[in-house]
Amino acid sequence: MLEVEVRPYRVFIGKRFSVSFQRAHRIPQSQQVHTPPTSLGALPVHRVADYGDRFPQGGKGRGGVFIPVSPQEALWLGFSGADWKPNAVKVGVAGIDAVSGKAWDARLHVDPQDYLVCPPQLALDGIHVGEGSVRQFVATPAEQASTVESEVAEHLLVMYLIVYAPKPGRFPEETPPNPSSGPDVVHLPANPHFTDSMGLGLGGTIAQQILPDPYGIDTWDPGNYGNLVVLLVDAEEYREVTGLEPPPPLDKVQAYTKYRLP
């Protein structure tokens, strides 16, 4: 099994693969297909187990991590890995495979391909809805879930990640001399009262290719994997559970970014 290590703004699954949760401006829901938004900063990540006594009964048993996301806020997943020994990655949201848009299945499939390979895939902005396009991940309060227009799902409560290691002998076991390091994502263009009140709805359409597996499905070891459950909390719940202030509203972040202020 691949070990999971939670850092303040990134989660490592195994020694080489990591994922971050990047804030982004929301893409309008229209017929237009948009380019992927740039990052407005990574969201902080916390282990549920570290705050188990502040969650209602059963909260600690969920395991995994939680992130603060404001209503109607968009996010995308940023991946990092070593190109000399990549991983196969599945992403699911409440019973839907985000890579294929089909029903969730923890196993790997090729027809259609329902996983990504990192590297070369370094980002995922939403759920696959057609060739070369995804619907953006958008935080949606549960009571508004029915208003989200989607042929795939109306309300996506939690996110799941499963990361598969390659089979022994397929890639080097140690870092090769002067390796081409696995880059961080480069995007185009450059509580006691915790409830399931926040989930992921689907926003506007973004142009994004799911890159084909360059190694083949037989490369990946179905018995050597690590998994992660990601829960969403809103600002009030985040304060109650952690005692910390959540990230500032996106309008302030965008204003500071516009004028290149820290």
Residue 147: per-residue pLDDT: 33
pLDDT > 70? residue 80: yes
136 compared with 193, residue with greater pLDDT: 136
Would 83 be classed as within a structural domain? yes
For residue 186, tell me if it sits in a domain.
no
Mean local confidence (pLDDT), 234-261: 77
The pLDDT of residue 231 is: 87
How sure is the predictor about 152, in pLDDT bands with cuts at 50, 70 and 90? very low
Segment 9-25, tens digit of pLDDT: 999 999 999 999 999 98
The residues, any chain, with a CB within 8 Å of residue 108's CB and separated by 6 or more, are 88, 90, 114, 115, 164, 217, 220, 222
- Say if 252 falls within a structural domain: yes
- Reported pTM: 0.83
Average pLDDT over residues 63-71: 87
Instruction: Give the domain extent around 117.
Output: 4-172+191-258
- 44-53, 70-79, 173-182: least confidently modelled range: 173-182
The answer to whether position 181 is within a domain reads no
* Total domain count, the chain: 1
- Say what percent of the chain tops pLDDT 90: 51
> Does 180 reside within a domain?
no
Max mean pLDDT range (59-73, 137-151, 185-199, 227-241): 227-241
pLDDT single digits (tens) 84-107:
999 999 999 878 999 999 999 999
Q: Does 184 map to a domain?
A: no
